[in-house]
Structures are given as C-alpha cells and as structure tokens.
Amino acid sequence: MSTVTEPRRSSVPTAGGTAGAGTRPRRVRGRDERSPLASVGLHAALIAASAVAVFPIVYMIFISLRGRDGWTKPTSAEGGLEITNYAYVLTETEFPRWFANSVLVAAGTTLVGVFVAASTGYAISRMRFPGHKSLMWVLLITQMFPVAVLIVALYNILGGLGLLDSYVGLILTYCSVSVPFCAWMMKGYFDTIPHEIDEAGRVDGLTPFGTFYRLILPLAKPGLAVTAFYSFLTAWGEVAFARAFLSSDSMLTLSVGLQSFIGQHKAEWGYLTACAVIITVPAGLVFLLVQRNLVAGLTAGGTKG
Amino acid sequence: MKTATADPATAGRPPRAGLLTRMKRSYDRHWYAWAMVLPVVLVIGVLIAYPLGRGVYLSFTDANELNVAKQLGATEIPATYQFVGFDNYWRVLSGADGEFYPKLAWTVVWTVSCVFFHYTIGLGLALLLNRKLKGRSLYRVLLILPWAVPAFVATYIWRMMYNSESGIFNALLGQLGFAPVDWLGDTFMQKVAVIGVNVWLGVPFMMVAVLGGLQSISSEQYEAAEMDGANAWQRFRHVTLPGLRPVSATVILLGTIWTFNMFPIIYLMLGEANALHSEILVTYAYRLAFGSVRDYAGAATYGILILSMLLVFAVFYRRMLNRQEAAR
C-alpha cells in the first residue's frame, strides 16, 4: 500500500511522507506535496520567467523617464528621472490626435464586432439551420487569410467607395479580421450556457430574438467582455491595413504614427517610449481586469474545436 | 396549435414535398437563425469573399501600378492590364523569380520554431502555475503581462533593446566582457531577434490556454493513475497530455496560422530596407503590393499561394488528429 503512495515526484524523498503511510490512500494529489528543494526550484523557475516577461516593460518605463537622450546610456540612471518626454509628446506632437484616432477606430470595431459576433455565435450554438456547418468552417478558414490576399482588393474597394483614409473604412476592415474569431469564441461560450434557459424563455412566449437579448446575452457577459476586448486589441494594434489605407497625417492611428519617431538617421526613442507607456498602461490595466474571463472564453472556444 | 406540436423533422418523414414547399418550410423554421447570421455573412461576403475573388483574378493578370485604372484629375484612365493565365504562378513556383523558395523556407523555420517555443514554454509555465504555491496569482499576472502589450509597441521596445550601439543587450554583453552583436544588421541575428520577440509575445496566450485545459482535467483521473502506480512522468504522459489534446490541437493550429501570417513584428522590427533576408512570405507580398512599383498581380499570387498552403496544412492537421483519435 505504502509503496504505491511513496514514489511521488523527483528523486528527493518527500519530507517525511506527510500523507502518513497508515491513512487511507484517498488524499490530495501527490503533485501538491513537494520537497523544499523542489519548491525552491519551482519558485526560481517562475521568478526567472516572470523577470523575462516583465523586463522589457519595466525597461520601457525606465527609458521613457530618462529624458530625450537617456536611452543612449541604457544601463545608467545618472541625472535621475524626468517626465519631459511625456510633456513633449503630449503637447508638441500629433500623438494625442493619433491616440484619439485609435480609440475611435478600436471602439467602432468593438461595437460592431461584438454585436455581430454575438448574434452569429448564438445562432451557430443553438440553431441547427442548413448551412451552419459550412459557416463554422468558413469562420475558421477566414482566420487563415493573410493580409496579402485581401489587401489589394480591399484597397480597390475602399478606394471605389471613397473610404480610403477614413475611420469607417478602417472599422469595416478590422471587423472582417476580428468578427470570425469572435463569433467562434462566442459560440464556445454560448455552448456552456444550459439549453434549458432558452427553452424556459420560449415557453414563456419569447421569440428566439427575445430569448437571445433578454436571457442569454446578460448571462454571456464574461464572453462578451472577452470578445469586446479581443476586437479592441485587434484594432488597437493593427499595422498592415492602417499603413496601406491611411495617408493624411491627421488620420493616422498609433501603430502607424509612432513610426515617425524612428527616422532614417536619428531615432527618438525617448519620445517613442513615452508614447508606448501611454498606449500600453491603460490597455494593460483593462487587460488584467478581463484576463480571468479571457481565460474562460478562450478555453470555452478552444475545447470545442 | 397543431404545427407547434408536430415538428416536421421529428414526426416521421412526411411524403417528400415539392422543392418550393420544402424551401418555404425551411425558411419558416430557420429564418431566425439566418437573420442572426446575416451580418456575418454580409461582412464575410463583402469584405472577404469578394476581395478574395478579386485577388484570384488579379493573380491571373499582370496588373501593377502602371496599368490599373486610375483617376488623373478629371480624366479616367482605363485599365490596360491583361489576363496572363498561370504565368505568375509558373514564374513563382518554378523559382524563376528567385524569391519564393528561400522565403518559404525561412517562413517555415520561423513558424515551426515560434510555435514550438510558444507551446513548450507555455505548457511548462502552465504546469508550474497549476500547482499549489505561494504567490501564484502574482506570478500569473506577471507572466501574462507581455500579452497586454500591443505587438507594434513590443516590437519597438525590443528594437530599442536590440540597438547595436545603445541597446541594453549589447551594454550588458559589454559589461560581461563580450563583443557587441549586430542584432538587427546581421542576417542570422535578425532571425534570432525576431523569433525572440515573437516568443516573448506569444507565450502568455499559450500558457493561459493550456492552464485552462489543465484545470478542466478532473482530479479523479490523476487519482486513478496514482492508484495504478503511475509515476509523475507517466501521469503527465498518459493523463495530462491526452487531457490537453482538445485545447492543444486548437491553439497549435491557430498559433501556426497566426505566426505564418505574422506581419508587424518582422515588418516593423527590421525596417523596410533592412529586412530583405528575413522577410517572411506575408511581408514580402505586402512589399510587392505597396513597394516602389506596386506589383498587384505578384502580391495577389503570393497571397493565394500562402492561403492555399495554410488550407492544405489545416486539412492535413485535422485529418492527422482525427486519425490519432481513432487509433486511441
């Protein structure tokens, strides 16, 4: 009996076999007990990984506070920290404008994207209509579309509609990128909501639309948060379409505008890092708020591949 | 009343009605569903299907900046490009344009190494985080942070750190007594550099997905395995990995597709002039389309080839998974 419980993990003998040889074999998983040495190793590995994960971000903040040319002395902190870079990019550059553009485009994409993705996800999850299988496939396949296939034709279409260099054009484009995956995630999320709720709604005389809006959507808030966030991030960080479709200075989004700080001859990394911090910190905070739901949403979408 | 109870699908097969009646019935039953998916179908139709069709068409022509229709002032110049059949494909696939196979090879290396590191590191970290330990949520948050950084921002930060004169990496190497490395100039180091950035950026997603997968494996399975005398490695091999299969299959497929098409890292990291040897197919096609002379046909050809390769990969991948599933 005890031999079964003994050889748990690692060659290091477990600290005194705390499970007690005489007790019943039912116990917490062996994976939860470990020797002090294994604990040290575990923490060391996690600390090292966390350091790698965090370092570039901390370094970005550090450089942004080091004045215009502080980046040229990457390891010294002499002269202290200052906020001149922030003052400069906020008052002297087009950065606030780009920021506003990005917010507008990303918010538009989120609104349209979430609405469309939610209703589609619901239909695919609950209704066995002719064509639902092929729609699932189409959604997955659109994930594979490289920008290169669509970009020329999209450029022509938007040009024909007069939507180049406009918010609407960009929002539509981003929806085509984010909606398929969002619909897929929402489908996974709706799958986890019991069908009985729909049936109860129908018995009470609600239409399928009514069931969807009044009963299911409120229950799907975590899933909606995930999709909203995903489409926001998609639009917030997109580069290729933005570079191709935007031409006038006042319309640029952040991902394109920032490029102007890195000239051919002299890069203004001080200014750029200040912008980068302003871009990352708010998005990062929201991200940390929703990340738990993000996990649930992603795995719900993931397990039902 | 009667129609509500007697669902035509469940009430035995009624004698086959005429096509029109069946369509009508189908419409009556499913119009809700169709109404709900209509927006997506429209979005996909207008913004993906039509451009795709157009892309296919362009790839059979010799369209470029000089011969497409354009508006010069008030006069409209009609398109003068011609249909050239499989000419573009032939030039690319026979190696005549000289760019395709080297770039394909690098794209494959790039994708395989990125996805490999994403998955193995993500799996490793998820396994560590899935244990009971002090400060678990803090580690989790710290490890997820890179995901919260937009790709273009991350690329710029890393580009600054890789800077050959004033970058932190070379400064640290210098302090340790090593010679500086030309991270972004040297062809080989460029590749190491971009893979490094992408791995940093992509691990959190894998970690979180795998963590979710781990938590969905019931503890009874581990208990049963232990009862059977399985050691840690055997439990990992026979309980954890199979339990992760659905999640792994999905994230590896998605990760492969995303990495194959990853645009911003390579494009922004190396600048336009510097990237000639480290371009992947997507950035190369983009440069064809929006470079000095816009070669629309060439870009479309590359785009279609990329898409076909991914489709073939996805089909084989699914099939392989299914076969494994059947063999188990």
User: Does B317 contact A at CB distance below 8 Å?
Assistant: no
Angle of helix B296-327 versus helix B241-260 axis, rounded to 10: 170
**Closest approach of A73 to chain B, Cα-based (Å):** 6
User: What pLDDT digit, counting tens, does each position of B237-291 carry?
Assistant: 888 988 888 888 888 988 898 899 888 898 888 876 666 788 899 888 888 888 8
- Which among B312, B317, B301, B284 has a CA at the least distance from the CA of B64? B301
Write down all domains in chain A, each with its CATH number in brackets.
105-251+293-303 (1.10.3720.10)
Residue B276 tokens read as: 């000639």
Which residues on chain B are in Cβ contact (under 8 Å) with A234?
none
User: What pLDDT digit, counting tens, does each position of A192-218 carry?
Assistant: 888 888 888 888 888 888 888 888 888
**Closest approach of A280 to chain B, Cα-based (Å):** 6
User: Does B233 contact A at CB distance below 8 Å?
Assistant: no
What pLDDT does residue A92 have?
86
Q: Please state, for a pLDDT cut of 70, what percent of chain A lies above it.
A: 83
**Closest approach of B241 to chain A, Cα-based (Å):** 14
Which of A39, A149, A262, A271 to substitute to test the interface with B, most B CBs within 10 Å? A149
Average pLDDT along chain B:
84
Among the ranges A13-22, A138-147, B223-232, which has the highest mean pLDDT value?
B223-232
Contact between A262 and A215 under an 8 Å Cβ cutoff? The reply is no
Distances (CA, A) of B240 to B126, B146, B159, B243: 12, 26, 38, 5
- Report whether pLDDT(A229) > 90: no
Residue labelled with tokens 């803090």? B138
What pLDDT does residue A2 have?
39
Let me know if A79 is exposed, middle or buried by CB neighbors in 10 A (0-12, 13-18, 19+): exposed
Could you tell me which chain A residue has the CA closest to the CA of B141?
Answer: A288
What pLDDT does residue A52 have?
93
Let me know if A146 is exposed, middle or buried by CB neighbors in 10 A (0-12, 13-18, 19+): buried
Contact between A114 and A293 under an 8 Å Cβ cutoff? The reply is no
Q: What is the mean pLDDT of residues B94-100?
A: 83
User: Does B213 contact A at CB distance below 8 Å?
Assistant: yes
What pLDDT does residue B82 have?
81
What pLDDT does residue B98 have?
76
B95: left (phi over 0), alpha (psi -120 to 50) or beta: left
Contact between A193 and A220 under an 8 Å Cβ cutoff? The reply is yes
- Which among B210, B201, B232, B224 has a CA at the least distance from the CA of B127? B210
Average pLDDT along chain A:
79
Q: What is the mean pLDDT of residues A265-291?
A: 83
Angle of helix A221-237 versus helix A269-303 axis, rounded to 10: 140
**Closest approach of B124 to chain A, Cα-based (Å):** 10
Restricting to A residues 235-264, those with a Cβ less than 8 Å away from any Cβ of B are 236-240, 243-244, 254-255, 258-259, 262
Name B77's bridge partners.
B70
Q: Please state, for a pLDDT cut of 90, what percent of chain B lies above it.
A: 20
- For A244, the closest of B39, B135, B290 (CB atoms) is B290
Contact A130 B26 (CB under 8 A): yes
Restricting to B residues 124-153, those with a Cβ less than 8 Å away from any Cβ of A are 125, 128-129, 131-135, 139, 141-153
The tally of CA atoms less than 13 A away on the side-chain side of residue B89 is: 14
Contact between B39 and A116 under an 8 Å Cβ cutoff? The reply is yes
Contact between A98 and A257 under an 8 Å Cβ cutoff? The reply is yes
pLDDT tier, B127 (very low <50, low <70, confident <90, very high otherwise): very high
Residue B164 tokens read as: 């050959």
**Closest approach of B266 to chain A, Cα-based (Å):** 11
**Closest approach of A237 to chain B, Cα-based (Å):** 5
pLDDT tier, A232 (very low <50, low <70, confident <90, very high otherwise): confident
What pLDDT does residue B8 have?
45
Contact between A42 and A32 under an 8 Å Cβ cutoff? The reply is no
> How do B70-72 and B75-77 pair as beta strands?
antiparallel
- Which range is least confidently modeled, A185-189, A271-275, B196-200? A185-189
Please report the DSSP string for A110-167 in residue order: HHHHHHHHHHHHHHHHH---TTHHHHHHHHHHHTT--HHHHHHHHHHHHHHHT-TTSH
What pLDDT does residue A15 have?
41
pTM of structure: 0.81
User: Does A216 contact B at CB distance below 8 Å?
Assistant: no
User: Does B241 contact A at CB distance below 8 Å?
Assistant: no
- For A239, the closest of B152, B253, B311 (CB atoms) is B152
pLDDT tier, A32 (very low <50, low <70, confident <90, very high otherwise): low
Residue A117 tokens read as: 């993705």
d(CA B136, CA A299) in angstroms, rounded, equals: 20
CB atoms within 10 A of CB A285: 10
Residue labelled with tokens 């890092």? A273
Contact A147 B286 (CB under 8 A): yes
**Closest approach of A144 to chain B, Cα-based (Å):** 6
Backbone angles phi, psi at B76, to 5 degrees: -105, 125
The tally of CA atoms less than 13 A away on the side-chain side of residue B285 is: 33
What pLDDT does residue A21 have?
44
- Report whether pLDDT(B183) > 50: yes
Which residues on chain B are in Cβ contact (under 8 Å) with A39?
133
What pLDDT does residue A125 have?
85
Restricting to A residues 84-103, those with a Cβ less than 8 Å away from any Cβ of B are none
Restricting to A residues 13-42, those with a Cβ less than 8 Å away from any Cβ of B are 25-26, 29-32, 34, 39, 42
What pLDDT does residue A299 have?
56
pLDDT tier, B25 (very low <50, low <70, confident <90, very high otherwise): confident
Could you tell me which chain B residue has the CA closest to the CA of A9?
Answer: B232
- For B142, the closest of A50, A120, A301 (CB atoms) is A50
Q: Please state, for a pLDDT cut of 70, what percent of chain B lies above it.
A: 92
Q: What is the mean pLDDT of residues A222-247?
A: 86
- For A150, the closest of B55, B260, B271 (CB atoms) is B55
Which residues on chain B are in Cβ contact (under 8 Å) with A244?
286, 289-290
Among the ranges A78-87, B13-22, B223-232, which has the highest mean pLDDT value?
B223-232
d(CA A228, CA A109) in angstroms, rounded, equals: 9
Q: Where are the alpha helices (DSSP H) in B149-240?
A: 151-162, 168-175, 187-215, 219-227, 232-235
Q: What is the mean pLDDT of residues A237-257?
A: 88
User: Does B177 contact A at CB distance below 8 Å?
Assistant: no
- Report whether pLDDT(A6) > 50: no
What pLDDT does residue A295 have?
62
What pLDDT does residue A99 have?
92
Contact A152 B145 (CB under 8 A): no
- For B149, the closest of A43, A57, A72 (CB atoms) is A57
Which residues on chain B are in Cβ contact (under 8 Å) with A302?
209, 212-213, 246-247, 250-251
- Report whether pLDDT(B125) > 90: yes
pLDDT tier, A111 (very low <50, low <70, confident <90, very high otherwise): very high
B291: left (phi over 0), alpha (psi -120 to 50) or beta: beta
Contact between B209 and A62 under an 8 Å Cβ cutoff? The reply is no
User: Does A149 contact B at CB distance below 8 Å?
Assistant: yes
pLDDT tier, A23 (very low <50, low <70, confident <90, very high otherwise): very low
- Report whether pLDDT(A63) > 70: yes
- Report whether pLDDT(A20) > 90: no
User: Does A12 contact B at CB distance below 8 Å?
Assistant: no
User: Does B222 contact A at CB distance below 8 Å?
Assistant: yes
Higher confidence at residue A267 or residue A195? Answer: A195
What pLDDT does residue B274 have?
66
Looking at this predicted complex, what is its ipTM? 0.81
- Which among A104, A281, A146 has a CA at the least distance from the CA of B150? A281
What pLDDT does residue A71 have?
78
